[in-house]
Amino acid sequence: MKHKKRSALFVALSLCSVSVIAGCGTNAAASNPAPANTPSPSSTPSTSAIPVTVSLSTLIAKAKAEGTVHGFGMPANWANLGNMWASFQKKYGVKTVYQAEGNMSSGQELQAFQTEKNHPIGDVGDIGISFGPTAVQMGVAAPFKNKYWSQIPNNLKDPGGHWAAAYYGVTAFEVNTNKVKDVPTTWADLLKPEYKGMIGFADPRQAAVSLDAVIAAAYANGGSINNIEPGLKFFAKLKKIGNWTGANYSTAAMQTGQIAIGITWNYLAEADQQQFAGKPPINVVVPSDGAVAGPYVEVVNKYAPHPYAARLLNTYLFSDAGQISYAEGGAYPVRLPFLKLPASVKLPPLNPKSVHFLSGNLSKAQSAIVTGWGPQVLGQ
């Protein structure tokens, strides 16, 4: 289930050591061992020997010689990555391996890069933006600036080239219109009595998307990333009136009708919309009074067994083809201003004034939510 991929994200927003990261969620590396035929070279080209910028022709030639690229935390059903993997392999003839470790959380990806450095497996990872600085602190991210570097906003990339955001999702309501006739368009709408018992929401102490949703609700109610209290009060009221009973959000719960309104990322809601094919019909709405954009960044493992294939894949993710692939999966590509999207791509409209990008150190907000959720919202 792809939603597990980020279930441990919140734990590591303020990570500074491997010992803390090791506590994130389940041990995905143990439960998803690498395929037996995946090579684990004992030595790889020194990262210091590979320049920060490399010509595309060099990347292609050396990547084809390496023959494989192995991704961590990049499952097929997340932001259309399955299509991306297939397209990359077809274009360059480089084998892609990504299924076994697809559900790794961001913290688990970085932990694996470090613990496996003498016999590396993974080449690339996809992590929440808050983990970018952590990857640099741990020394597991190789510096690389792909050919599209100048088109990536400065606040969404590391100056040294260790990471850059490729796409982002925004907080959204996933609505079953068989059960909900008056579709909510704002956080305030969710408080209407007609939605009693309908809302599904994962624990923000365990799910990054929910933590970000609490921040979004804070913005919608006069708060901010530095003032989470209005977000906690909103969810406390939502629970008190019974619109949210504590029911969890999941694809299964939406499809079976256990919940009728889910709070999640827009691209996960759109994936459900496509999967359900009208049974039930799903409407995806970005709340107009407050939404957060959660970027995900791409990193090249400093100890990558296939360092050139890793850099070629990174370049492909930021190319027009890669960026359009994200958009086809409902995610907003970071190079959107430089793209001409196909007419078939319909990203939810955004109100720029009400969308807040999450970047930098989120430890204060994370701490406030984790500390306050039990006593203030759940009454524990």
Q: What is the pLDDT of residues 64-103, one digit of tens each?
A: 999 999 999 998 888 999 999 999 999 999 999 998 888 8
Q: DSSP letters along 189-248, please?
A: GGGSGGGTTTEE---TTT-HHHHHHHHHHHHHTT-BTTB-HHHHHHHHHHHHTTSB-SPP
* pLDDT for the residue numbered 211: 87
Query: pLDDT class for 35, splitting at 50, 70, 90?
Result: very low
What pTM value is reported for the model?
Answer: 0.76
pLDDT at position 90, please?
98
Q: In the predicted model, what is the mean pLDDT of residues 8-30? A: 33
Task: Quote the pLDDT of residue 28.
Answer: 32
pLDDT tens-place string over residues 119-151: 999 999 999 887 888 899 999 999 999 999 999
29: which DSSP letter?
H
Distance CA 286, CA 184 (A): 10
- Enumerate domains of the chain plus CATH numbers: 2-167+295-338 (3.40.190.10), 168-293+350-378 (3.40.190.10)
Under 8 Å between Cβ of 333 and 267 = no
C-alpha–C-alpha distance, residues 286 and 265, integer Å: 9
Residue written as tokens 């395929």? 35
Between 357 and 327, where is the model more confident?
327
Q: Quick one: pLDDT at residue 10?
A: 37
pLDDT value at 13 more than 60:
no
- Spatial separation of the C-alpha atoms in residues 197 and 182, rounded to whole Å: 15
Quick one: pLDDT at residue 29? 32
CB 285 within 8 A of CB 183: yes
Per-residue pLDDT, averaged over 33-47, amounts to 43
SS (H, E, C) 57-111: HHHHHHHHHHCEEEEECCCCCCCCHHHHHHHHHHHHCCEEECCCCCCCCHHHHHH
Closest among 235, 129, 227 to 191, alpha carbons compared:
235
Provide the 10 A C-beta neighbour count for residue 151. Answer: 15
